Chains A and B, each alone.
Chain A
Amino acid sequence: MTLTRTILLAALGAGLLLGGPAQADGTLTVAQRQDPANWDPVDTFLVAWSSAGANIFDGLIRRDENLELQPGLAESWEVLEDGMRLRFALRQGVTFHNGEPFDAEAVKYTFERLLGDIGAAGPQRSNYTSIDSIEIVDDSTVDFVMNTPDPVMLTKLAGYGAMIVPPKYIEEQGQEAFDMHPVGTGPFKVVSYDQGESLVLEANADYFGGAPELDGLVYRFIREDSTRLAELQSGGVDVVHDIAFSAIPTVEASGNASIVSVPGPTVQSLQFKPTGDVATADVRVRQALIMAVDRQALIDAFLAGRGSPIASLQGKLSFGYDAALEPYPYDPEAAMALLAEAGVAPGTPMTIDYRADNSTFAEVAQALTGFFANVGVVAELRPIEDAVFLNEIVPQGRTNEMFQFAWGGWTFDFDNTAYLVYHSGEKWNPYGTSDEMDALLETQRRSADPAERERILKEVARMAHDEAYHMPLYNEDTVYAVSNRVENFVAAPDRRVRYDETRVTE
């Protein structure tokens, strides 16, 4: 019910008290922090988009909760001509929610839109520029002609920008209609969308994977952490997609909901400024600062244990993860010795820059200053507004000695993060690394051989570790709070939870 309509009702003297949220049987309600505000797949990068989008749209390929690639709208695919051509056999008899058929034309339309003018105004296009053109072989076969081999393309075809969109609907109804009332092929179709409030979906009985168990699926956008928690506790929502770490003990103690968590893509790290007139220009200082911090203690205290220590900017699930690479140990004594060796006097001031919008990291940052104090470094904190941080501070190289880095490369491929942080000219690499590093990163991007890529990515991680460009803090688990009335909830590492097999009781 939209607000205006409700106000009208109220004004008309419908003095009925409507009471709490009216939940139809078989409807599951999800709370998440953010409203993506626009449902066009090519115009977003938001996890908030994909968590609902995963139930509305399909790509040619789907990545399941174990991060395995599964057939989506394509039943099978082959890599031809050394990766210069990808051939897809399309599923037949699939229709979009508005009834228009899914076919090779729809695939061609989707990608030409993504790579053309519409895509050019959005953030997704850059992921897919290795596609040169789409060739229709026949009604149910398409070829992707590449301009360069792209080893991660198959994974990226499960990504946001590659969701297949309905050509007729968009051409006839227009871009705005599609933004606000999206149509896909997924297990749920859109009933209504009130910006800033909720997205209401109903089951798509004709879904090619079988009709969902649920009748309806509602996403509610609630920004304040404590309010999302209260909604869960009072039965207003069934699943909270981004429960605050600080709320985990409350949910666990509540008795009517539980915490479900899986390792996720997000890593938090503290980058060092390795150049210029700062103490952290000395690699020994950087190593010392890492050893000064008990990272497991941070995980236990501020993530309620839902995270893992890491040695590089990736978690266990990531392609390129090296189990043999050990994080620097927590060793304050050794840290002090190194600091002394580097000539850093006790009481030396340093500053940590971080994004002010994350309450968990604000707590972690405070604890970091405590650990630094134990080895004689007096750290200040500088919380910075997001837009300023992302524009004026990091890319311009105007950070202090240390600055926050958080990234969740949804491809779970180390290339996504590593290129961004270690290759020259990238926005998260304002101070540069080395020519050697650049060369390694470029080589693996050109390689179609997974084994070679893995070897190179491990080398990249090891070099970054030896140079101590950063203090990898932890890999966050993806945490969901799930009401007891929900059955068959399948936690997705990337928050793209599919609700087609989930049920609710009562």
Chain B
Amino acid sequence: MPILFYLSKRALQALLVMIVVTLFVSFAIRLTGDPAVMKLSQAANATAEDLARIREAMGLNRPFHVQYLDFIGGLFTGDLGTSFFRGPVAPLIATALPATLLLATTSLLVSLAISIPLGVYAATHRGSLADQAIRVLSLVGLSFPNFWLGIMMVLLFSVTLRWLAPSGFTGPLSLVMPAATIGIILTATNLRIVRTTMLDVLSAQYIMVARAKGLSERKVVYKHALRNSSIALVTYLGLQFGGLMGGIVVVELVFGWPGMGTLAIDAIAQRDYPILQAVISILAITIVGVNLLVDLTYAVLDPRIRLE
């Protein structure tokens, strides 16, 4: 049962993380701005009574801890609450979360498909012209803000070439530009990680031994070296998953992608506490979950690592 014990321990940690994160965000977002005022911001004749009535309807006259416990309680019964502006939160998350995860996984896969072979090639041909070119090109990918890359792609593929629709979701083709935008930035860093760790691993003793035993170079590189260097890559990906989500926020805006980022940004702007709290807690759970997955992957990649 050690694995079950381990999993429940991690689940408990995840819960704690989620509570701290939502507590912080829920508290912070209430420091300034008032959703009732936002609702009335264009109403010319609103009076103080109007404001009080709307605050009451929103449940804002209750103390903070009551509002927060109400939210946490709802979370455990599967009730994500109702937005101040746009209806129940659960269906919103139900469309936004898959959209964001789809974008995240596609970009991740695209970037791995590019960065692993290129990174391995660069490492095994260290110092060659190809190595230098790959490294410099990967830096180019690091040098543009993601919104900028996105806009440039729209200009090229939608406005000039007319190949792809600039925004919205009409099918798998809609994924191409947003996923490529995030993918290019991910590729730049992943490639560097792959190359560096491959170099470390390739000079390790057991690789020398494998070579000495007469294993083919191909087998040495792909079976032994890559397997071991992927541990570093997986760690890095786990650590960067939160950052990836952050990058997606901006890219979603550019491509009108109806995901969690768009939802969160609107919620912050309108001080729509129920949506923001739900988005943040679900993102937190997702990120913690991904990191758990990373740790489990370790154990698969390297049997010597024990789950503690």
**Shortest beta-carbon distance from B168 to chain A in Å:** 6
B54 near A127 (CB under 8 angstroms)?
no
Decide: A176 and B88 in contact? CB cutoff 8 A: yes
Contact B167 A125 (CB under 8 A): no
Which positions 117-157 of chain A face chain B at CB distance < 8 Å?
Answer: 120-127, 129
User: Given the complex of chains A and B, what is the CA–CA distance between A390 and B159 in angstroms?
Assistant: 38
Whether the pair B85, A234 counts as a contact (CB closer than 8 A) is no
Q: Does B1 contact A (CB under 8 A)?
A: no
Tell me if B43 is interfacial: C-beta within 8 Å of chain A.
yes
Enumerate chain A residues within 8 angstroms of B170, measured Cβ to Cβ. Answer: 1, 6, 18-22
- Taking CB atoms, residues of chain A closer than 8 Å to B87 are 37-38, 176, 179-180, 195
Q: How far is the CB of B268 from chain A (nearest CB, A)?
A: 8
**Interface check B269, CB cutoff 8 A:** yes
Q: Is B171 an interface residue (CB 8 A)?
A: yes
| Interface pair A124/B166, CB less than 8 Å apart | no
B91 nearest CB neighbor, chain A only: A195
- B173:A19 contact, CB within 8 angstroms: yes
In the complex, whether A99 has a CB less than 8 A from a CB of chain B is no
Chain B residues, Cβ within 8 Å of A20: 164-165, 170, 173
Contact in complex: B169, A197 (CB < 8 Å): yes
**Partner pick for B258 among A125, A196, A357, CB 8 A cutoff:** A196
- B205 close to chain A: CB less than 8 A: no
Whether the Cβ atoms of A392 and B166 lie closer than 8 Å is no
B172 touches A10 (CB 8 A): yes
Chain B residue with the shortest CB-CB distance to A180: B87
Contacts of A416 in B (CB 8 A): 44
B95 touches A227 (CB 8 A): no
Which A residues touch B155, using CB under 8 A? Answer: 230
A409–B123 Cα gap in the complex (Å)? 65
List chain B residues, Cβ under 8 A from A100.
Answer: none
Taking CB atoms, residues of chain A closer than 8 Å to B54 are 120-123
In the complex where A19-B171, A233-B159, A387-B38 touch, is A4 in contact with B95 (Cβ < 8 A)? yes
B94 to A10, Cβ gap below 8 A?
no
Contacts of B154 in A (CB 8 A): 226-227, 230
Contact of A2 among B44, B92, B95, B173 (CB under 8 A): B95
A223 within 8 A of B: yes
With contact pairs A21-B170, A227-B167, A391-B32 given, residues A126 and B45 touching in the complex (Cβ less than 8 Å)? yes
Looking at A224, A386, A417, the one whose CB has the most chain B CB atoms below 10 A away is A224
Q: Is the CB of B171 within 8 A of A224?
A: no
What B residues does A3 contact at CB under 8 A?
95, 98-99, 169, 258
Report the bound CA distance from A327 to B232 in whole Å: 67
A230 B98 Cβ-Cβ under 8 A: no
Which of B6-14, B183-191, B249-257 contacts the other chain?
Answer: B249-257
Is the CB–CB distance between B263 and A122 below 8 Å?
no
How far does the alpha carbon of A41 sit from the alpha carbon of B38 in the complex, in Å?
A: 17
A387→B166 contact, CB < 8 A: no
Q: Contact between A387 and B32 (Cβ–Cβ < 8 Å)? A: yes
Task: Among A4, A234, A388, find the residue whose CB has the most chain B CB atoms closer than 10 A.
Answer: A234
Q: Is the CB of B57 within 8 A of A120?
A: yes
Shortest Cβ distance from residue B106 to the other chain A in the assembled complex, whole angstroms: 10
Provide the bound-state CA to CA distance between A18 and B168, in Å: 13
How many A residues are at the interface, by size bracket?
35 or more
Give complex CA distance A235, B159 in Å: 9
B46 within 8 A of A: yes
By size class, the interface of chain B is 35 or more
Q: Are A18 and B171 in contact (CB under 8 A)?
A: yes
Query: Judging by beta carbons under 8 Å apart, are B50 and A231 in contact?
Result: no
A413 to chain B: closest residue by CB: B44
A45 in contact with B43 (CB, 8 Å): yes
In the complex, chain B residues 55-74 whose Cβ is within 8 Å of any chain A Cβ: 57-58
Distance in angstroms from A222 CB to nearest chain B CB is 4
A167 in the interface (beta carbon within 8 A): no
Q: Which residues of B contact A227 (CB under 8 A)?
A: 151, 154, 166-167, 254-256
A123 and B98 contacting across the interface, CB-CB below 8 Å: no
Task: Name the CB-closest residue of B to A222.
Answer: B256
Given the known inter-chain contacts A7-B102, A123-B54, A196-B258, please indicate yes or no for A236 contacting B166, CB distance below 8 A.
yes
B43–A126 touching, CB < 8 Å: yes
| In the complex, B33 has a CB within 8 A of chain A | yes
Give the nearest-CB partner of B157 in chain A.
A234
- Contact partners of A392 in chain B: CB under 8 A: 32-33
Given A17-B173, A121-B53, A126-B43: A388 in contact with B32 (beta carbons within 8 A) = yes
Q: Which of chain B's residues have a CB closer than 8 A to the CB of A420?
A: 44
Residues of A within 8 A of B262 (CB): 196, 223
Nearest CB of chain B from residue A320's CB, rounded to whole Å: 14
**Bound form: Cα–Cα A179–B47 in Å:** 25
- B42: Cβ under 8 A from any A Cβ: yes
Among candidates A22, A121, A126, A179, residue contacting B46 with C-beta atoms closer than 8 Å: A126
The answer, yes or no, to whether B158 is at the interface (CB within 8 Å) is yes
- B 146-160 to A, binary, CB cutoff 8 A, 1 in contact else 0: 000001001100110
Within the assembled complex, what's the spacing in Å between the Cα atoms of A227 and B177?
Answer: 12
Is there an interface contact between A123 and B40, defined as CB atoms closer than 8 Å? Answer: yes
Bound CA span A126–B45, Å = 6
Who on chain A is nearest to B162 by CB?
Answer: A234
A residues less than 8 Å from B195 (CB atoms)? none
- Report the separation of the CA atoms of residues A222 and B253 in the bound assembly, to the nearest whole angstrom: 8
User: Which chain B residues lie closer than 8 Å to A125 at the CB level?
Assistant: 50
- Inter-chain contact B168/A220, CB cutoff 8 Å: yes
| A356 → chain B closest CB, angstroms | 11
Q: Which residues of B contact A126 (CB under 8 A)?
A: 40, 43, 45-47, 50
Are A127 and B43 CB-contacts (below 8 A) given A224-B253, A231-B166? yes
Considering the chains assembled together, what is the distance between the CA atoms of A434 and B200 in angstroms?
77
- B86 beta carbon closer than 8 Å to chain A: yes
CB distance from A179 to the nearest CB of B (A): 5
Question: With a CB–CB cut-off of 8 A, which chain A residues contact B41?
Answer: 45, 390
A194 at interface, CB cutoff 8 A: yes
A198 to B167, CA, bound (A): 12
Q: How long is the Cα–Cα vector from A198 to B32 in the complex, in angstroms? A: 31
Chain A stretch 213-233: residues in CB contact (< 8 A) with chain B: 220-224, 226-227, 230-231, 233
Question: A191 contacts the other chain (Cβ, under 8 Å)?
Answer: no
**Residues in chain A near residue B96, CB distance under 8 A:** 196
Pull 17 A–B residue pairs with CB atoms less than 8 Å apart, ordered by A.
A7-B99, A18-B173, A21-B168, A45-B41, A45-B42, A121-B53, A122-B39, A123-B42, A126-B50, A196-B262, A196-B263, A220-B167, A230-B158, A236-B158, A386-B269, A387-B34, A417-B44
The 9 lowest CB-CB distance pairs between A and B, nearest first, are A18-B171, A387-B33, A37-B86, A121-B57, A45-B42, A196-B258, A230-B166, A123-B43, A222-B256
Query: Chain A interface (Cβ within 8 Å of chain B)?
Result: 1-4, 6-7, 10, 15-22, 37-38, 45-46, 120-127, 129, 176, 179-180, 194-198, 220-224, 226-227, 230-231, 233-236, 357, 385-388, 390-392, 395, 409, 416-417, 419-420, 427
